[in-house]
Amino acid sequence: MKRFYVTAVIAGAMFFSVGTVTAQETATATATAQVQEKEDFKQIDVQELPGEVSQSVERDFQGATISEAYSKEKDGETKFKLVVTTAEGESKELYADAQGNWIDKEKDSK
């Protein structure tokens, strides 16, 4: 009976340690992806944004201000990442192309 108890404890410890390692690997992969995404975009001055992008923010997010701007070249196209503070004080991360069209980040990353 004592052997059964010891075996059960060891099996349980192995089970939980595998789950912990998997969670750590997932967290590391997520952090690496976030760092990679930030590295792809280069910070630029807000005044360097194309007029179309600034106009889209003014049109679609009235009263908002662009606090940070980033750009990256991909497949011959320039894409912009914007950190915008809305009139309500909420911070949003937006993505646009050079013509001021909004990009759905979920669809774009697939």
> What is the predicted pLDDT for the residue at 68?
96
> What is the predicted pLDDT for the residue at 35?
47
Please choose, from the candidates 37, 41, 18, the residue with its C-alpha nearest in 3D space to the C-alpha of residue 29.
37
| Residue 70 tokens, joined | 């980033």
Digit-coded pLDDT (tens) for 69-110: 999 998 899 999 999 999 999 999 999 999 999 998 765 554
Segments making up each domain of the chain, as ranges: 1-40, 41-108
| Residue 84 tokens, joined | 């915008």
21: confidence class by pLDDT, cuts 50, 70, 90: low
DSSP per position, the chain: -HHHHHHHHHHHHHHHHHHHHHHHHHHHHHHHHHHHHHHHSEEE-GGGS-HHHHHHHHHHSTT-EEEEEEEEEETTEEEEEEEEE-TTS-EEEEEEETTS-B--HHHHT-
> What is the predicted pLDDT for the residue at 74?
84
pLDDT at 54 over 70: yes
| Cα–Cα distance, 93 to 33 (Å, whole number) | 17
Q: Across the strands, what pairs with 82?
A: 69, 94
Fold of 41-108: Inhibitor of vertebrate lysozyme, Ivy (3.40.1420)
Tell whether pTM > 0.85: no
